[in-house]
Structure 1
């Protein structure tokens, strides 16, 4: 398992450090690199190998603990241990194809952000973006998914393309069906809100390349979590 261990516990990318850390840890558990009842590498070592802060690592471990994958034990022989019995993935008979959904979403949403930034947005469109951004940032956990969806649709709407908005709404329905199968993780929501701000700021500044990059980074974080929990 040494090769798999090295491959999974390699440095993550800085843009989505929390999300990719969760993905790497879950992969190591699901693939048996760290087996049921076994202990994860010590926190300091794991943080160094993943190239993340210990705060980020602890947030990722806490998320996996809440989801029922690991538990922390104190004392001389303490550490973070994989549960003997792991949660079963949700039945996927009616689940949209994950990779197909992520691919279509990437094309549509990065394109929508880029196109929105290329438009000369009138005040009502600019206000629509800033209002939906503020609503998403202020949403609590119970309402976050709806407000998040509304912001992503607003970006498509200000492009002026009804066909693009319709297509994005369809893929967002597929995405939300997948997101409903994984836990809402507060560090991810905080990170998403910061990424939303970057996307909207780039659109309002008319910087199409920056808008596309910011949206791509945002989507990659969500994709990491979906792959971690659903595959």
Structure 2
């Protein structure tokens, strides 16, 4: 039988290394594989098992420290320890696994399709300017504005499909996803990575690369899904 730690601390995919590292660490904490008060595996060992750089691992640990899940201690007996008292979600912050899966599945189907469709159209100058403007707004957004600007960019991509019905459907699912996103902390490394992915998605759309746009959007959504599963499921 495979030890549970080995099953959780398996190599992550390269595309969303930070987000998946956070997800794996949160799974280990929430499932009690590393109980409150206990130390996580040594940094070098954990980075090797997850297949990530130590920089990525440190960013993930720092994010969980800021969110109140772990604490780092120096010295001979130091390391990263799970906090004795973990943040307790209020009842309205709990999400049933089927509800989370339903929202993420619907979003993946709609938004990857929208990116592909937008890239397959001959976009007019106004549509192209709108995409670039929304991308710039999101890239330069302050932390307290990020989710709103991020939503506006994703809706601009939907609008670029030329389908009112699809745009309305994506607006609906985005509302559902935003409720979930509001229940997890904003992690600056994730936002920086999201901005890089946004650049790629919009670039693929403007270049008319339908398959590339779909793949870039799928990878982007996978990263968000990893964080939501890690914190909420």
Q: Which runs of 5+ in 1 are unaligned?
A: none
1:195–1:218 Cα contact (<8 Å) kept? yes
Match of 1:147 in 2: 149
Q: TM-score, normalised by structure 1?
A: 0.97
**Contact 1:90–1:181 (8 Å) recurs in 2:** no
SS at match of 2:36: coil
Match of 1:106 in 2: 108
Instruction: Supply the distance in 1 between the matched residues of 2:223 and 2:161 (Cα, whole angstroms).
Output: 24
The equivalent of 2:162 in structure 1 is 160
1:91-119 CA distance string (max 9 Å, x none): 24896821110010001000000000000
Q: Any residues of structure 2 matched to 1:15-34 within 5 Å, and which? A: 15-34=15-34
How many Å separate the matches in 1 of 2:174 and 2:93? 19
For residue 11 of structure 2, what is the aligned residue in structure 1?
A: 11
Could you list the runs of 5+ residues in structure 2 that have no partner in the other structure?
Answer: none
Between the aligned partners of 1:2 and 1:79, the Cα distance in structure 2 is 25
For this pair of structures, how many residues does the alignment match? 231
Alignment of 1:137-216 (within 5 A): 137-216=139-218
Alignment of 1:55-134 (within 5 A): 55-92=55-92, 97-134=99-136
Provide closer, same or farther for how the CA distance between residues 3 and 224 of structure 1 changes in structure 2, counting only shifts above 3 A.
same
Secondary structure of the equivalent of 1:142?
helix
Q: Contact 1:121–1:158 (CA<8 Å) still a contact in 2? A: yes
